[in-house]
A and B are shown apart, each in its own frame.
Chain A
Amino acid sequence: MSGAADREAVFPTRQSLGLMKAKLKGAETGHSLLKRKSEALTKRFREITRRIDEAKRKMGRVMQIASLSLAEVTYAVGGNIGFQIQESARSARFRIRAKQENVSGVLLPTFESYLTEGNNDFAMTGLGKGGQQVQRCRETYARAVEALVELASLQTAFVILDEVIKVVNRRVNAIEHVIIPRTENTIKYINSELDELDREEFYRLKKVANKKQQDVAAQDAEIKRLKLEQEARGKKQAVADEPETSAGPAELLEAEGDEDVIF
């Protein structure tokens, strides 16, 4: 068969046949498990991509609203507060923490936003004018950033899942298209080799049996002739020879080593 080129380098023995069979079984179980995992992940993946698509579009809208509220601040304060804001930024009030979610054995990080208490860098901004707008703008932007954080979680999950799915699919394909056929080929090869050996053995045994029959026949003839001679001489010696001849044919099938004793 053509499979002869693609098999594992093993000696065709019964032991390796057993090993190979176990391996095939393992590969098949693994394949079906991985396949299921890959399907579960892909399902999740598709869901995430759809949500990303939605979220990205929504983000456009949310950010517009936020920009408008910043415009409102500019309107109320009557000038640009950008520089002052940049300079008074000290410590982040809005922070995130990464949590992990387990999807079919893959750890997907999700970001969660939280506000730290007590540090307010911009409390005084717009004290004389527009302070209320500034506070409102902060809330609007905080909401926008929350949306962004959510999107970032989705996106991170997307990147990781993409990677994991690729790996899993590669494994599934490797098992399906390389490991399983190869193991099957090896098993086939071992089987055919073992069969060949069996046939050879059988033929040899047949030959041996033939030979032995001839020998036995020849011996029988000899014995008869001797018997006749002994009968002529006396009856005592014939009793001692008998066990040796009857043991010969019985042992023939058991071991070859004993044959020497007969000859």
Chain B
Amino acid sequence: MEGLFFNVNNGYIEGIVRGYRNGLLTGANYTNMTQCETIDDLKLQLGPAYGDFLSSLPPNPSTSSIAAKTTDKLVAEFRYVRANAVGSLAKFMDYLTYGYMIDNVALLITGTLHERDTRELLERCHPLGWFETMPVLCVATNIEELYNSVLIETPLAPYFKGSLSHQDLDELNIEIVRNTLYKNYLEDFYQFVNSHPDMVGTPTAEVMSEMLEFEADRRAINITLNSFGTELSKADRNKLYPSFGMLYPEGTLMLSRADDFEGVRLAVEGVQDYKTFFEAAGLGGGAGGPGNMAGGSGTEGKTLEDMFYQKEMEISKGAFTRQFTYAIVYAWVKLREQEIRNITWIAECIAQNQKDRINNYISVF
């Protein structure tokens, strides 16, 4: 039933995105890439997928330029899809970009706080997080101005409202600002996919809820783990946890009380997936992680982070088994981001001559 009219507006987009998904690198591609001796070989291997974008690079390009070019491709495709999207899908895709906007805004706030020339910073911003009023941010010279006249105009304004004042921007660590925004963003996005009439009760709501819940849990766990040994108090930490997800509310409550890795492990015990992650990672020494000076090759050095990425990719892959859903756009972007990270990682390993860890990429196809 829900698929009856889906194709009227969104059939083309779905087709395109499924096409893009088939263009993703497969395990065989990655195996070939890991055999490369030089960056030029790698470039050649990437030819079919990224030829147009990589062709302008000089011989033996730096890894960062490869990363930039591969991102360019994602951006170009995303913009094409966005331009063709209508109605609630367009709105959905806008939501997708807010995550990047938060990073950009955090960057600009940092720049403004340190009285940097913010024009320079625009180049560093993620292109997916570009919004029309962003260049205006550069006009602001102090944080109060930035807050009162500029940030209010951005799509992120609702996330600032109520939780951050302009004094907070000045005083709080930028990481706290960023994570507060992100929490608000995730909650809003979750709310959006579960309340919009076009999406309620459709596979979109179902798949997106799963993805966002996972993202929320991941952030909550990460924030907890990373806050050990910092001045972030437990109460402040609690404010950064998104108020949904599989861990919410009991898990997050326990997380907010956790003092060490063990505490976190207990908090996530209720969720089978995370439990296995922690068991696997716990052996490696937990928060400290296996030392990477030794190369980490001996013990299949999977970190918690790696396992989260792996899980994210699997959920994203699963999204493509559903029909008539916006979630595939989200899944596709995530898969492509992982692909870019994989390529960068492999390129880095080749450039640094550290082949023993080259297989740390995550491939699900």
Q: Indicate if the CB atoms of A132 and B229 lie closer than 8 Å.
A: no
Q: Indicate if the CB atoms of A124 and B230 lie closer than 8 Å.
A: yes
Q: Indicate if the CB atoms of A131 and B225 lie closer than 8 Å.
A: yes
Q: Indicate if the CB atoms of A127 and B63 lie closer than 8 Å.
A: no
Q: Indicate if the CB atoms of B344 and A84 lie closer than 8 Å.
A: no
Q: Indicate if the CB atoms of A143 and B293 lie closer than 8 Å.
A: yes
Of A68, A128, A129, the most chain B CB neighbours within 10 A belong to A128
Binds A, one of B26-34, B45-53, B137-145, B348-356: B348-356
Q: Indicate if the CB atoms of A128 and B182 lie closer than 8 Å.
A: yes
The A/B interface has a contact count, at CB < 8 Å, of 114
B102-119 vs A, CB cutoff 8 Å, 1 = contact: the mask equals 010011001101101000
Q: A127's contact among B103, B124, B227, B291, by CB below 8 Å, is which?
A: B227
Chain A residues contacting B344 (CB-CB under 8 Å) are: 71, 74-75
Instruction: Judge if B289 is at the interface, Cβ distance under 8 Å.
Output: yes
Q: Indicate if the CB atoms of A71 and B345 lie closer than 8 Å.
A: yes
Instruction: Judge if B168 is at the interface, Cβ distance under 8 Å.
Output: no
Chain A residues contacting B107 (CB-CB under 8 Å) are: 83-84
Q: Which residue of A lies closest to B67 (CB)?
A: A74
Inter-chain CA distance A242–B202, complex, in Å, is 162
CB distance from B277 to the nearest CB of A (A): 13
CB distance from A95 to the nearest CB of B (A): 20
A202-249 interface with B by 8 A CB criterion: none
Give the contact-size bracket for chain A.
20 to 34
Inter-chain CA distance A83–B112, complex, in Å, is 13
Instruction: Judge if A156 is at the interface, Cβ distance under 8 Å.
Output: no
Q: Indicate if the CB atoms of B354 and A64 lie closer than 8 Å.
A: yes
Q: Which residue of A lies closest to B231 (CB)?
A: A123
Taking chain B's interface residues, is the majority helix, strand, or loop, or is none over half, making it mixed? helix
Of A69, A78, A124, A127, the most chain B CB neighbours within 10 A belong to A127
Binds A, one of B3-11, B147-155, B169-177, B320-328: B169-177
Chain A residues contacting B353 (CB-CB under 8 Å) are: 64
Instruction: Judge if B268 is at the interface, Cβ distance under 8 Å.
Output: no
Chain B residues contacting A88 (CB-CB under 8 Å) are: 110, 174
Chain B residues contacting A140 (CB-CB under 8 Å) are: 292-293
Chain B residues contacting A143 (CB-CB under 8 Å) are: 293
Instruction: Judge if B257 is at the interface, Cβ distance under 8 Å.
Output: no
Inter-chain CA distance A80–B64, complex, in Å, is 10
Q: B354's contact among A68, A74, A126, by CB below 8 Å, is which?
A: A68
Chain B residues contacting A136 (CB-CB under 8 Å) are: 288-289, 291-292
A-B contacts, 5 of them at CB < 8 A, read A65-B292, A68-B354, A76-B305, A80-B124, A123-B231
11 additional A-B residue pairs with CB within 8 Å, beyond A83-B124, A123-B231: A65-B295, A75-B345, A83-B110, A84-B110, A84-B174, A125-B175, A126-B175, A126-B226, A129-B305, A130-B305, A132-B287
Taking Cβ atoms with an 8 Å cutoff, the residues of A that contact B are: 64-65, 67-69, 71-72, 74-76, 78-80, 83-84, 87-88, 120, 123-133, 135-136, 139-140, 143
Which 3 A-B pairs rank lowest in CB-CB distance, beginning with the nearest?
A131-B226, A124-B175, A123-B230
